[in-house]
Chain A
């Protein structure tokens, strides 16, 4: 799973029917100190995350489909949580 920051969203009227009613958000992977790294990507939100939130993203297809409760869902990542706090020693 990755820590990411939500940096935007994508609007697509013509899309996979199973995506109806779900937000497609643009997320940027970040280090624990907030430093962005790598490329941003798009994912499905199931926890009502908003732009600017720090979120937890499952990036394995099978776990993503599991989280959405539909093993035939054509998705490879899902936002599974909103991170309030990161504790590091």
Chain B
């Protein structure tokens, strides 16, 4: 999974049948210090996440496995809304 920040959402006019009624969020990937890295991507919302919230999202088919069949064609899914992140600085020192 990776951390992300919800930037917004996309609304589709023409779409794959299985995407109907799904909320598609624009998410900016974040590193462990909540700094953005890489480009924003689109993930299906499964947690009712709101704009600006920090979330966790899973990549790949696993994103939609828990949804009822037929699974929508989606490769990123929000599966947690983050309350806190605890990072231990010295745990990252270069040499043991």
Contacts and interface: CB of A to CB of B under 8 A. Distances in A.
Interface of A: 5-16, 18-19, 24, 26, 28, 34-36, 39-43, 51-52, 61, 64-65, 71-77
A61 B95 CA distance: 31
A14 B88 CA distance: 23
Interface of B: 1-3, 31-32, 37, 46-48, 56, 58-66, 77, 79-88, 91-92, 94-96
Contacts of A8: 32, 85-88, 91
B87 A13 contact: no
A71 B65 CA distance: 8
B31 A7 contact: no
Contact of A24 (B56, B61, B91): B56
A39 B36 CA distance: 11
A33 to B, nearest CB: 8
A52 B90 CA distance: 8
A76 B76 CA distance: 10
B92 A14 contact: no
Nearest to A35: B94
Contacts of B65: 65, 71-74
Contact of B92 (A5, A11, A43, A76): A5
